[in-house]
Amino acid sequence: MRWALVKVCLAVTAMVVIAFAVPLGLVIREMASDRAFSDAERQAAMIAPALSITTDREELTRAVLSTEPGDRGRLAVHVPAPEKTADGTEGEALDIGTRRASPKDVATVRKAGRASITEVTDGFALLQPTALSTGDIAVVEVFVPEGEVSNGVATAWLILAGVGVALIVGSVAVADRLGVRMVQPAQRLAGAAQDLGEGRLGTRVPEEGPTELRSAAVAFNSMADQVVQLLANERELAADLSHRLRTPLTVLRLNAASLGEGPAADQTRAAVEQLEHEVDTIIRTAREQRPQTQGIQTGAGAGCDASEVIRERMGFWSALAEDEGREVRLAGVDRTVRIPVARPELAAALDALLGNVFRHTPEGTAFAVDVHHSGDAVIVLVSDAGPGITDPEAALARGTTNPGTVGSTGLGLDIVRRVAESTGGDLRIGRSVLGGTEVRIWIGLHGTSPDRGRRGHGRRVARRFGRRRPKEPRTTAGPATSGPS
């Protein structure tokens, strides 16, 4: 494309140069010729006064030699012989100066009575008729060398040729630069498309160059971002779905622990542990491979009744809590609370938090779920009376496993955080007044975070427990240190 543009520009410029330079060169040659013959006419007119006064040879010879062309041998005067002299004899024709034109040409000019230019050896001869006092016609001959006729023409042609070459070179250089300006963005776009096809998803194209190529670069970058986002969502879904399997796995593990001793019980517990290991591997693999994404995609118009979803999930976990002797309190779900979160996403977030309570606190540890509606936000608090989280900031970091925690992938709290941030809210971890961990989910109803100065709400949960210490656990279902999964 680049060389094609250069060739086209070269051909067009050459045609333009030829179209203008050739006629201009011809005009310059004609101007030089006209200038030379005009000077010859002026020189011929210098001898006319002498011819109008006398036809004496000596006088005319002195007059011819007194002029510059006569002195240089370029001027001649041809006076015809008079028909009869005063004594009745015929006169003699006079030829003064260096003669170059033929007698025939001189006679033709004398007979026609108008100037003529004839070609002679090494140049041209201007024949100018001049009337004598006797009524006869004399002819003044001025020799014009060939060099004077073409004087300056070669220089002018060289100048025109130089200007033409300069124009051609300049146009080729400009065309080359324009070609580079057009070709390089196109080459970058083609290379980026090839890189993206080979799996290098971070490839982007600089948005520069002509308008059309700049628009193509913008479209390519947008497409690449969409591809990355789609892959991220796909891997996010794989990780989230795998994490949701941990909820029934927790139930299986706890049930397997109560099977007692025997080969069947040992095989069941080993199978549950192997399944948990495989699920954790899937979660970690998906988390390591996917790029970071922003928020959670809930879809246009997605939403649910938070109270209904919380009641449903608490009904599921209450059976397991009863088996482990855990006291459960639920508040704030007696009326409909619509939130802009899809039902499966809210259920997954609650299962992640409640699963953490069962996995990382001893049996018999009490917990509570409290829902508060404040007009522009919904606050969900999940509190427990366990040992708490040693480093809340590290627990909130994406992919951070709490030190000393077994079987934690760091993805559970991230699921909850993304649900909150998708609505303009956030997630906080603090110390519960029950003595353990308090996880506060701020869900914005209008895309804005609620007022975070209302810190006394979580304390109302403690009053429902009478600020009593949780009873001692019967068995230890997890490590002593609470940590999020």
The Cα 367–Cα 470 span in angstroms is 10
The Cα 461–Cα 482 span in angstroms is 20
What pLDDT, on the 0 to 100 scale, is given for residue 197? 82
Cα angle, residue 399 at apex, residues 279 and 204 outer, rounded to 5° = 105
What pLDDT, on the 0 to 100 scale, is given for residue 381? 92
Q: Kindly tell me if the per-residue pLDDT of 39 is higher than 80.
A: yes
What pLDDT, on the 0 to 100 scale, is given for residue 331? 92
Q: Kindly tell me if the per-residue pLDDT of 480 is higher than 50.
A: no
The Cα 81–Cα 265 span in angstroms is 156
Q: Kindly tell me if the per-residue pLDDT of 245 is higher than 60.
A: yes
Are the C-beta atoms of 444 and 423 separated by less than 8 Å? yes
First to last CA, the chain: 58
The Cα 76–Cα 101 span in angstroms is 10
Q: How many residues are given for the chain?
A: 485
Using CA atoms, how far residue 132 sits from 64, 81, 266, in Å, is 16, 12, 150
Per-residue pLDDT tens digits for 72-95: 888 888 888 776 555 555 667 788
* pTM exceeds 0.75 for this model: no
User: Which of 5-14, 292-301, 445-454 has the highest average model confidence (pLDDT)?
Assistant: 5-14
Label residue 406 by pLDDT band (50, 70, 90). Answer: very low
The Cα 368–Cα 389 span in angstroms is 17
What pLDDT, on the 0 to 100 scale, is given for residue 379? 92
Computed over every residue of the chain, the mean pLDDT equals 76
The Cα 101–Cα 106 span in angstroms is 7
Using CA atoms, how far residue 177 sits from 10, 180, 398, in Å, is 14, 5, 49
Asked which of 228-242, 277-291, 449-463 is least confident by mean pLDDT, the reply is 449-463
What pLDDT, on the 0 to 100 scale, is given for residue 237? 66
Residue 281 CB neighbours (<10 A): 12
Q: Kindly tell me if the per-residue pLDDT of 407 is higher than 70.
A: no
Q: Kindly tell me if the per-residue pLDDT of 467 is higher than 50.
A: no
The Cα 132–Cα 50 span in angstroms is 9
Are the C-beta atoms of 449 and 341 separated by less than 8 Å? no
Q: Kindly tell me if the per-residue pLDDT of 23 is higher than 70.
A: yes
Give 126-130 contacts, CB < 8 A, sequence gap 24+: 126/37, 126/40, 126/41, 126/44, 127/101, 128/41, 128/44, 128/45, 130/44, 130/47, 130/48, 130/51, 130/52
What pLDDT, on the 0 to 100 scale, is given for residue 439? 92
Residue 194 vs residue 456, higher pLDDT: 194
Residue 212 vs residue 2, higher pLDDT: 212
What pLDDT, on the 0 to 100 scale, is given for residue 371? 92
Per-residue pLDDT tens digits for 260-269: 777 777 777 7
The Cα 64–Cα 68 span in angstroms is 9
What pLDDT, on the 0 to 100 scale, is given for residue 5? 62
Q: What does the pLDDT average to over 381-390?
A: 88
Are the C-beta atoms of 75 and 40 separated by less than 8 Å? no
Per-residue pLDDT tens digits for 147-160: 888 787 788 888 88
Per-residue pLDDT tens digits for 325-383: 999 999 999 988 888 888 888 888 888 888 888 888 888 999 999 999 887 899 999 99
The Cα 155–Cα 262 span in angstroms is 115
Per-residue pLDDT tens digits for 97-132: 888 888 888 888 888 888 888 888 888 888 888 888
What pLDDT, on the 0 to 100 scale, is given for residue 378? 92
Strand, coil or helix: what is 142? Answer: strand
What pLDDT, on the 0 to 100 scale, is given for residue 442? 92
